[in-house]
Amino acid sequence: MSALTLHYDVPGDDFTRAGEASSDIKNKLKQMGISPDVIRNVAIATYEGEINMVIHANGGTIDAAIDAESITLTIKDTGGGIPDVELAMQEGYTTAQEHIRALGFGAGMGLPNMKKYTDEFNITSEVGKGTEVIMKVYLSK
């Protein structure tokens, strides 16, 4: 399989469009004949990241790199950053306001889900500068 890279700019001001990048990545992976389980894991992890960027960081970028062994996802924003990453990784911990919860998100499952559905997960965040999440999903387990 030849390497493929995909890049998406995620707007931060339109909740209704959130998920379009993840949907496109999912469709492209399907076209490449990648296994459904791998595709679903990539789709969920990317979607959670995309939603997080829209809710918390006024958008950002998503890059996907597909090679013969794995899919690497880089989700980056220049939002407010996360003061305590360890705390943010705990299931159920959230800083989302009530209006976000009314939209069906902000249950404190975003980052834990991203880690859960990927084989490698790394997050770096700096308050006032932004957050970068790099995840890898192996094509064969």
Cross-strand bridge partners of residue 27: none
Q: Which is nearer to another protein, 36 or 128 (CB)?
A: 36
Position among 12, 60, 79, 106 found at the interface with another protein (CB under 8 A): 106
Nearest distance from C-beta of residue 102 to another protein, angstroms:
4
Q: Which is nearer to another protein, 33 or 36 (CB)?
A: 36
Cα(93)–Cα(15) distance, integer angstroms: 22
Closest to 41 measured CA to CA, from 106, 120, 127, 102: 120
Under rule CB under 8 A, which residues in 76-105 are in contact with another protein? 91, 98, 101-105
Cα(122)–Cα(4) distance, integer angstroms: 21
Using rule CB under 8 A, residue 109 touches another protein: yes
- Residue 77, Cβ neighbours under 10 Å: how many? 25
Considering only the C-alpha atoms of the chain, give the largest distance between any 2 of them, rounded to a whole number of Å: 45
Using rule CB under 8 A, residue 61 touches another protein: no
Q: In the complex, which residues of this chain contact another protein (CB under 8 A)?
A: 15-16, 18-19, 22-23, 26, 36, 40, 43-44, 47-48, 51, 91, 98, 101-110, 112-113, 116
